[in-house]
């Protein structure tokens, strides 16, 4: 198992093949993103099933990958389409993942991305407010 395997899996992952996650993650995996932290493979699989339950489309374009010994990094763009975000229109978010391997499996996976860019800016009521605040801050 290496960063190429993780990259390949995420480029083909969708709501119909989430069982593929079980083949790359260690039983004691720790997974973190800006909104959640889950521990253990069963909790991770449940988390992904909940994430993908109402998604119309979620695709990852892996742009770069690096690995040194038992650690790897991916940079990616997630193309997400969800009925409650951006009026159901696609949303693209850039991010990065830090991956650590142990015993041939992913033991640690942390995703870094702007949660506001993914969620808050595309919720009808909050979107305008968040964008106005970012504009005032110079972003």
**Domain assignments of the chain as residue spans, ordered by start:** 3-113
Question: What pLDDT is attached to residue 133?
Answer: 54
Backbone angles phi, psi at 21, to 5 degrees: -60, -35
Quickly count: other Cβ atoms within 10 Å of residue 82's Cβ.
20
Q: Write out the chain's pLDDT in tens, 139 residues.
A: 999 999 999 999 999 999 999 999 999 999 999 989 999 999 999 999 999 998 999 999 999 999 999 999 999 999 988 887 777 888 888 999 999 999 999 999 999 998 766 555 445 554 455 555 546 666 5
Question: What pLDDT is attached to residue 114?
Answer: 85
CA angle 41, 45, 40 (to 5 degrees): 20
- pTM, full prediction: 0.83
Question: What pLDDT is attached to residue 49?
Answer: 95
Question: What pLDDT is attached to residue 60?
Answer: 96
Q: What's the CATH class of domain 3-113?
A: alpha beta
In angstroms, the CA 114 to CA 7 distance is 20
Q: Which residues of 109-133 are buried (b: 16+ CB within 10 A; e: fewer)?
A: bebebeebbbbbbbeeeebeebeee
């Amino acid at each position: 198992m290496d960063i190429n395997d993780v990259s390949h899996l995420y480029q083909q992952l969708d709501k119909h093949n989430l069982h593929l996650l079980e083949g790359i993650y260690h039983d004691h995996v720790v997974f973190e993103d800006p909104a959640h932290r889950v521990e253990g493979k069963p909790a991770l699989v449940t988390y992904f099933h909940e994430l993908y339950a109402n998604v119309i489309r979620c695709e990852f374009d892996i742009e770069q990958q690096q690995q040194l010994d038992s650690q790897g990094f991916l940079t990616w763009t997630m193309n997400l389409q969800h009925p409650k975000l951006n009026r159901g229109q696609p949303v693209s978010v850039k991010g990065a993942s830090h991956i650590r391997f142990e015993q041939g499996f992913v033991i640690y996976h942390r995703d870094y991305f702007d949660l506001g860019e993914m969620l808050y800016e595309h919720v009808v009521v909050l979107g305008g407010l968040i964008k106005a605040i970012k504009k005032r801050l110079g972003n």
